[in-house]
Amino acid sequence: MKQHLTGSCHCGNVRFVCELELDQPTLRCNCSICAKARYWLAPVPAADFRLLQGEEALAEYRFGPGQIAHRFCRRCGIKVFGQGSAPSLGGAFYGVNVACLDLSPEALADLPIAYLDGRHDAQGTPPAVTSYL
């Protein structure tokens, strides 16, 4: 069942709401940006995400083919979400930073995690080593 969740960056300039099924896997990826930022994401269909405030506070970073807009707060630097489109995720989606969700430590610890081998463009296969993600 989808839950209505709120989230924000560290300084609070960027705030959002999303609908998320907490029993569905969250994702940790070993691509260059996710590994360096230790990014932990939850895919959210675009229809289930709404930015409440802070569009003007957001900066954007794209790399490689530029398919995903990595959005972060200009003030505190926290990457709040990414935006992209992927048929495997049902089209337009947001990759919400799980650490930005207003969840208790216990709820975060209970979230299921799936690992993606983005470094080798093998999203359907977990990487051989995941302990650092």
Average pLDDT over residues 11-26: 97
Assigned CATH for 3-120: 2.170.150.70
d(CA 49, CA 126): 27
Number of C-beta neighbours around residue 101 at 10 A: 21
Confidence of residue 131 (pLDDT cuts 50, 70, 90): confident
Average pLDDT over residues 51-68: 94
Beta sheet of 26-29, edge-to-edge order: 58-61, 69-73, 79-86, 91-97, 40-45, 26-29, 113-116
pTM of the model as a whole: 0.91
Helices within 1-133 (DSSP H only): 32-37, 105-110
Of 132, 110, 107, give the one whose Cα is nearest residue 119: 132
Indicate if the pLDDT at residue 5 is higher than 90: yes
Average pLDDT over residues 7-17: 98
pLDDT in tens, 67-123: 899 999 999 999 999 999 988 778 899 999 999 999 999 999 999 999 999 898 887
Q: In the chain, what are the domain boundaries? A: 3-120
d(CA 88, CA 71): 21
pLDDT in tens, 107-123: 999 999 999 998 988 87
Number of C-beta neighbours around residue 16 at 10 A: 22
56 with 50: CB under 8 angstroms? Answer: no
d(CA 76, CA 58): 10
